[in-house]
Chains A and B, each alone.
Chain A
Amino acid sequence: MQASQDNKNNAIDFSSIPVEALESLRLRLTQLASLSSTLTSYSEILDQTVTYPLPQFPTTEQEGLLTTLLRKKALPEVIDWIKESKENSTDILLKDDEDSTRWAAELVLNKRNEYNFNDESDGDMMVTDLKPEPKLNVDQVLKYMYQGVLPEKK
């Protein structure tokens, strides 16, 4: 309530902002950014580096730590994060939506036809004003062309 009243007075109350937590987050992010850039610049070396425990390493007692350290694959939860973020960021594939693609293409053509791009008009030679669906398939048309035979009417 008080805040909204203060807003009206054009004064902003910062008292409820967790400054310390934000500052800590900012610091972490900076560190992460620094780590990320360091990893990137050494990625080539890191990719080629083979890591193994020295003989002094207490393999038996610290087995858990060892496997964590040497783990190459991301953790299952990390894989899930990556997958989730990929799904969210990928563009919609046009081919998954053929109907809207066709609609858009036809709209563009129709709009384009409303304008005259060529000086001379070149009448369409083909008959395209009729739109009933074709009754013959490729093979039936070819059979007529080469043998003069039309499919019998049912």
Chain B
Amino acid sequence: MVQQLSLFGITTQSQHSLLIASLSSLVGQTRSQKYENLTVLAKPTTIIKFEPNSTKQQYEQYKIQLKSKIDENFSDIESLREWGLQVYDIPNQTVQNSSSTKKKLNVNSQNFLESYIILNKGDKLDDILKELGYERETSYRIKGERFYYGNITIELFQILIYVENEWILLDNSIMVKTFINIAKITDLENINKSTQELVNLKMELTGLVDLSVPDKNNLDSRIGLNFRK
């Protein structure tokens, strides 16, 4: 289980070079680290209707994310043999402080589980998903670059989707994600320190990019929510 503290922002392409130049000098890293991956979003084949009055035990259903390293020449999903599988919880809204006081978080805090999957020769990702009871829902590419600032990872990325035989930008924006992963979710001291670090970065970048806590419902990978309404 990983706990990720994060803040998100969005910027325009015209601001890209300014942001990169500012970040480079802020973090003292002349060149950003480029990265690229393919994300496959999968949902359960059978979605179980939530029955409010049922006496049977009911379980939450989650969408899962599978991600793999790709490069410019990517074309065939079957060529990807190593995957990261992640299941995200709904973000926490509050954090338990030292005593029993609860306070609203200044950063987004989300727990998730991940597994590193190696496909056997001949096995297809879709077959594996099918056996697990899942199916591919959508996939997208992420192209980004990364800076490190103290314990913070700063990522600037764009999303590409496959439309009519080509990969196109989902949007003309550039997403900014700043985050710190906490290995032990009980490490309150680290959580408080990291929260402060992110808040300080937010101040530092004021005027350049507006970092904020997103609506937690959008980071919720549970399904069946629609049935509940």
Contacts and interface: CB of A to CB of B under 8 A. Distances in A.
Whether A and B touch (Cβ < 8 Å) is answered with yes
Interface of A: 95, 98, 102, 105-106, 109, 113, 122, 125-128, 130-148
B107 interface: no
B13 A137 contact: no
B171 A141 contact: yes
Interface string B26-47: 0000010010100101010000
A49 to B, nearest CB: 43
Contacts of A130: 13, 169, 172
A138 B214 contact: yes
Give the interface centre of A134, A135, A137, A138 by most chain B CB atoms within 10 Å. A138
B137 interface: yes
Q: Which label, helix, strand, loop or mixed, suits the secondary structure of the B interface? A: strand
A98 B206 CA distance: 12
B74 to A, nearest CB: 14
Nearest to B36: A125
Categorize the interface residue count of chain B.
Answer: 35 or more
A141 B10 contact: yes
A111 to B, nearest CB: 12
Interface of B: 8-10, 12-14, 16-18, 21, 31, 34, 36, 39, 41, 43, 63, 65, 88, 137-138, 140, 143-145, 156, 158-159, 169-175, 207, 212, 214-215, 218-221
Contacts of A143: 218
B82 to A, nearest CB: 21
21 contacts: A98-B207, A102-B18, A105-B18, A109-B21, A125-B143, A127-B143, A127-B158, A130-B169, A131-B12, A131-B14, A134-B12, A138-B8, A138-B212, A140-B218, A141-B173, A142-B218, A144-B159, A146-B63, A146-B218, A146-B219, A148-B138
Contact of A138 (B17, B158, B175, B221): B175
Contact of B214 (A127, A133, A139, A147): A139
